[in-house]
Amino acid sequence: MDVRDDQLPVSVKWMIGVGAAALMVPACGGSAPTSQVAITSPTPDAMSLAYVALIRAYWADLHVADVATDGSDVDAKACLGEAAPTSSSEVTVVQPEVCRVYSVTTMAANEKFMTQLDTLKAPARFAANDQVFRMHIPKAISDLTRLVAACDGPNRQAVIDAMWAYADEMIPDVTNALDDVDPSVTHLDPHNG
């Protein structure tokens, strides 16, 4: 339906004119009236610092679970049956009771990390690492659940196998992502480092 200008009521002509003027002011370099609301969000640097702090806290929790009072590597000896860092696995060296404590503590550290990770938005530069954590750590938690069950059973080889499944889930993808986010600590495979 075509409507001629002389058929429009004066009030409609006036609203069209005001609307056109409002649209033209910004186009001519002026500014339209706006209401400004202060929005606070973390700066990219603050986001990065918080993300790195989370990674450091996670690594510290994992490290606490893995270092015995004598400074030895709990998972290598108790769970993998390695008498020394360069030795192969021996079922006679496996200590299921000690490995179980390690497994439960490590699982708690991983679950805590995943809960905290869900509260942070990864900065763009850590997005790929964040995806690695979100993909591999839930699988690692499942491996740790199997490790706890193996520690409760009679088969020490099952403890070794379950520990290797956990290690394979974490190394190298998760450890490389940890290195990328926090290069101040090298999170190496103990057998290659």
DSSP per position, 53-80 = HHHHHHHHHHHHHHB-TTS-BHIIIIIT
Of 35-39, 81-85, 149-153, the range with the lowest mean pLDDT is 35-39
Predicted confidence band at 164 (pLDDT cuts at 50, 70, 90)?
A: very high
- Let me know if residue 112 belongs to a domain: yes
pLDDT exceeds cutoff 50 at 28: no
Q: Report yes or no on 151 lying in a domain.
A: yes
State the pLDDT at residue 84.
84
Q: Is pLDDT of 124 > 90? A: yes
The answer to the question of residue 94 being in a domain is yes
Tell me the pLDDT of the chain averaged across its residues. 81
Q: What is the pTM of this model?
A: 0.73
Does the pLDDT of residue 10 top 50, yes or no? Answer: no
Is 21 inside a domain boundary? no
Does 14 have pLDDT greater than 50?
no
Residue 18 lies in a domain: no
189 in a domain, yes or no?
Answer: no
Q: Has residue 74 got a pLDDT over 80?
A: yes
pLDDT given at position 11: 42
The range of the structural domain enclosing residue 139 comes to 44-181
Q: How many domains does the chain have?
A: 1
pLDDT at 188: 62
Q: Contact, 76 vs 190, CB < 8 A?
A: yes
Residue with tokens 């370099």: 29
CB under 8 A, 24+ apart: contacts of 65-72 = 65/102, 65/105, 65/106, 65/109, 66/102, 66/106
Section 79-106 average pLDDT = 93
Whole-number percent of the chain with pLDDT over 70: 74
